[in-house]
Structure 1
Amino acid sequence: MNQYQSWQSWIQQMMNQMEQQQKMINQMQKKIEELQSVEHPPRTVIEKIEYKFDQLKIETLEGTLQIGLTPNGSEMSDIGDLYNNQNQNKQIPQTDDQALHFLQEYMTSDVPGWMNQYVRDHDIEVSDKHKERMIADIRKQLPQRLEFYRNENPEAPPETLFHQIQTEIQHSIAQYFETFEGDGEA
């Protein structure tokens, strides 16, 4: 075999490879055009996720207790009304700032006693530290809740907003304790 035939076969082999690669490129371009022409790209659909909370074990509790767990924030206030007869504020807030101040006082003076009475009545073990964290979390949310109720009803007097938030706090705490299984630190 002369060198000319080896070069010729090598060139032929390269031409065949280039032809195969060109076919592959053409196929990929068609596929890209098909994918781009699809009006609705394929979606991932997750139909149903079920959680079995009774199988969970919670070692530590961290996060924020959200007040306002019902759509209107104050429905079903009857749970809180069971414990409403403790230290009621006799003063009436005249401004939103006063309402916020009275809510802060309420969190300090009335809520701890209300929580203690509720956990005693329902035989729930909750440590003082846990209750303090809950109260601190609720305190942080008071300005936003006041703003929420103000936006919901701009004409409402501050006294009404104060009572709505007060009821919401009691309802939310009661609802939280209904699902709480105790922390064993009491």
Structure 2
Amino acid sequence: MSQDLYSYLQGLQGYIQTLEKRISKLEKKVAELEDETRQLQKRPPVHIDTIEYKFDQLKVETLEGTLNIGLNPTDLQEEIEEFSIDNKDVYAPNIKDTYAPPSPKDFMYHSMGVENEMYRYLEQDLPEVIEDVQAETNVSLDESYINFIKEDILKQLPKRIDYYLKKEHAAIAEGELQDHVTSMLKQEIRNGVSIFANNLPENMRGDKRE
């Protein structure tokens, strides 16, 4: 057996093992979703008369459900104000505009689609995002930070995908859900990188960018 063929088979085996792990995780997630669906079906229906939204009184109290890069939530209290919710950017779906939750099979399909696009984004676009953030914040990051930021995001990505798919499906049409979720994740990552750069201690930064 030639060395090239042996290397190819090794790489193929590693790829198959990676796919098997991803499929196993997704199958577990589908089982959990099916269990959640059964539990929801057992609950009595809830009647909603009127929902009044007062966005001018809305205030961010915690950082629960956010992507934090290399930081503890307590480190971000001052920075969160920069990303506060603007009235015009918030969409509160009308009851008549809501969509039925996706089936476990569809959820798995959307999850894999978003995951593949985000992996591509992290490999191809993240370095440019970090470059843009450095220019905007005038903070120079060492080359090693790119891998650190990527790894930190990868650890949180599955839960963030799951969070947004569950949160947004009611307001977004099925055919637009994947693009909508990936767009939100990309913006969240950019904000996270910016907060990371702004909170990096002076002695851990590179030379000032001109």
TM-score (norm 2): 0.43
Looking at CA atoms only, which structure, 1 or 2, has the larger radius of gyration?
1
TM-score (norm 1): 0.48
Q: Which has the higher helix share?
A: 2
